[in-house]
Structures are given as C-alpha cells and as structure tokens.
Amino acid sequence: MRHLKKYNEMLSYSGGDVTKMPIIGKVITKPIGPFESGEYDVVEVIETEKGPIYVTNMWYKEWKRIPQLIHTELVEEFIPLSNESFSMYREKCDRCGGPTNNSTTMSIFNTDVICMICKEEEKKDPEYEAADIAADEAYRNGIKDFEGVMPDYTPIIRN
Ligand SMILES: [Zn+2]
C-alpha cells in the first residue's frame, strides 16, 4: 500500500494525453541491470524533492492513463529540445559586438548569444540568480519561442 500511495503522488503531471503533448526534450537513460541505455521523448518534467521525474510520450498503462515515467536516478542526460536545434555559433557577440573567439554562451536574460566577457558581466547582475531559475522553469515547461525573462535586457555595467 505504501508503494501505491507514493506512486499516486508522483502522478502530479498535467494529466493530458502524453501521446499528443508537445515534446520538450529527450532523456538518455543509464544502462541498469537488464535494461539497456535508451532514448525517450519527454513531454513534461515533474519536480519532486528527490529530483525531476520525466514524463515520456508513451503510456505505461494506457487503460489507466499512466504514462511511462523516468526517475532522475535512471537518467544519464536530459536534453531540452530548444537547445538541440539552436545554433550557438557567432563570430561577433550579440551584445557587445566584440569577437567571440569561438567561445559563446546563451544569455540568461534574453536570447542573445554572448561572449564570455559579457557572461561574466551578467553574473554580476543582482538579478542573475532569479533569472537563472526563471529561465530553467520556462525550459522545463517547454515554453515555445521563449524570449528570456527580460527580452529588453541591458547590462547594468557597461565597460
Ligand atoms: Zn560580448
């Protein structure tokens, strides 16, 4: 009974038809026991105290509408879909226009692909941490065309 109760608590996903929900990313599972490493399409991520649980686009028991869930301990890697198709290559930094030297990263505040100097500047912004959490949440919820938590972001410190 204890096991059952625990299982029901985990099912706090939105309850939709997982086979028709938009795919937000994929997980690569670790090979464990008789199970080989595999790839699963993910439609939702449930946050729990013990880490995220990934809801796949497959039914575990269709007649009970229980989706196939993958616990974080079985997951080698979660790859958000938005990151897969997104090109990070820039010759010049979106923000300062300086050369990137082939080293770029995504702004935490908006969709700029920025150089490492600008990234360091961002980290000094007092709202960096809050923006980081908000951006994370948006990706997990699969928000399409996410424009960042501050689309009009301008750095507080200009060099
Ligand atoms: Zn820059």
pLDDT tens-place values along the chain, 159 residues long: 444 444 444 456 778 899 998 888 899 999 988 878 999 999 999 888 888 999 999 999 988 888 999 999 999 999 887 654 457 788 899 999 999 998 888 899 998 999 999 999 999 999 999 998 888 888 777 766 667 888 889 887 654
Distance 79 CA to ligand 1 centre (A): 26
Distance CA 32, CA 70 (A): 13
Distance 131 CA to ligand 1 centre (A): 19
Of 80, 99, 118, the one marking the end of a domain is 80
Distance CA 148, CA 112 (A): 9
User: What global pTM score does this model have?
Assistant: 0.48
Q: Which domain holds residue 64?
A: 2-80
Residues 114 and 72 grouped into a single domain:
no
Distance 113 CA to ligand 1 centre (A): 9
Distance 142 CA to ligand 1 centre (A): 28
Residues 18 and 70 grouped into a single domain:
yes
Residue 133 inside a domain? The answer is: yes
CA 25 to chain centre: 7
Residues 94 and 148 grouped into a single domain:
yes
Of 80, 115, 138, the one marking the end of a domain is 80
Distance 46 CA to ligand 1 centre (A): 35
Residues 99 and 137 grouped into a single domain:
yes
